[in-house]
């Protein structure tokens, strides 16, 4: 296999992973995204898995449907970074957090997550029990 072909395959994999991450971030199913760009969910699945290539015009439509600039789908190709995939739990967490309208509750949640990160889960439980949410 030629050096160029291996590079093209890695780039396609990277683009597919970015499509998947941005679809999940927007909370869209493969079917929903497919309808937005005029393809089947199977085709979206093939793009995300890099089974099929993506034309420039289709990539443009995908970027518009995902509400990101097209260059974002290319991501870190030039600098060789690997972006982590966003799990379903992370997507749900962000989606639910965005639904919290009370600013104090949002702040308390952020403090809880920070405590969990800094000191581990046990310390986060203590922080929550000590936290006062003034109503």
Instruction: State the pLDDT confidence band at 35, using cuts at 50, 70 and 90.
Output: very high
Tell me the pLDDT tens digit for each residue of 115-135: 776 665 555 455 555 554 444
Q: Is the pLDDT of residue 58 over 50?
A: yes
Whether the model clears a pTM of 0.95, i.e. scores above it, the answer is no
d(CA 12, CA 71): 13
Rounded average pLDDT over 13-35: 90
Give span(s): CATH 1.10.260.40, the chain: 3-74
Q: Is the pLDDT of residue 3 over 50?
A: no
Rounded average pLDDT over 84-103: 77
Tell me the pLDDT tens digit for each residue of 77-90: 443 445 556 677 77
Whole-number pLDDT of residue 68: 86
Question: Which residues are CB-contacts of 93 (< 8 A; sequence separation ≥ 6)?
Answer: none
Can you name the CATH fold of 3-74? Answer: 434 Repressor (Amino-terminal Domain) (1.10.260)
Count other Cβ atoms within 10 Å, centred on residue 24. 20
């Amino acid at each position: 296999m030629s050096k160029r072909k291996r590079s093209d395959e890695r780039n396609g994999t990277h683009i597919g992973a970015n499509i998947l991450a941005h679809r999940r971030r927007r909370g869209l199913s493969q079917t929903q995204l497919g309808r937005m760009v005029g393809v089947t969910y199977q085709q979206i699945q093939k793009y995300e898995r890099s089974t099929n290539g993506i034309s420039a015009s289709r990539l443009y439509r995908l970027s518009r449907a995902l509400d990101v600039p097209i260059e974002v789908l290319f991501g870190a190709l030039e600098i060789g970074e690997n972006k982590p995939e966003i799990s379903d739990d992370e997507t749900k967490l962000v989606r639910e957090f965005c639904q919290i309208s009370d600013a104090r509750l949002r702040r308390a949640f952020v403090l809880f997550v920070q405590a969990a990160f800094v000191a581990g889960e046990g310390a986060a439980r203590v922080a929550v029990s000590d936290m006062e949410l003034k109503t």
